[in-house]
Amino acid sequence: MKFSYSAVWNDAAAMLKRNGSLLLAIAGVFFLLPSLLLGYFAPAPTGSGQDALNAMMGHYRENLPWIVLAQLVNLLGGIAVYKLLFDQREGTVGTAIGGALPILPMYFIMTVISSMAIGMGLVFLLLPGIYLLGRLVIAGAAMVAEGHRSPIAPIRSSWNHTRRRGWAVAGLVIIVAIAGLILSFVITAILGSVFLLIGGREGVGPLLVLILNSALTAALQTVLIVLFAAIYRALSGAAEPTTGI
- pLDDT over 50 at 22, yes or no: yes
Per-residue pLDDT, averaged over 198-209, amounts to: 91
**Mean pLDDT, rounded, for 131-153:** 97
CA 223 remoteness from chain centre:
8
Q: What is the pTM of this model?
A: 0.91
* pLDDT tier at 239, thresholds 50, 70, 90: low
* Residue 206 reports pLDDT greater than 60: yes
Instruction: Assign residue 139 a region (left: φ > 0; alpha: ψ between -120 and 50; beta: otherwise).
Output: alpha
Q: Are 26 and 99 in contact (CB under 8 A)?
A: no
Query: Which has more pLDDT, 237 or 77?
Result: 77
- Residue 147 gets the label, from left (phi > 0), alpha (psi -120 to 50) or beta, of left
Report, as an integer, the average pLDDT of 61-85: 95
Higher pLDDT, 158 or 200: 158
Predicted local distance difference test score (pLDDT) of residue 128: 92
Which among 131, 139, 140 has a CA at the least distance from the CA of 164?
Answer: 131
Residues 146-193 pLDDT 10s? 999 999 999 999 999 999 999 999 999 999 999 999 999 999 999 999
Name the average pLDDT for the chain: 92
For residue 152, the one-letter residue type is: I
* Mean pLDDT, range 60-89, rounded to an integer: 93
Angle 145-149-153 from CA coordinates, rounded to 5°: 75
- Mean pLDDT to the nearest integer, 29-44: 94
pLDDT higher than threshold 60 for residue 87: yes
Domain segments of the chain: what residues? 5-236
Provide the 8-state DSSP code for 241: P
Taking only Cα atoms into account, the Rg of the chain, rounded to an integer number of angstroms, comes to 19
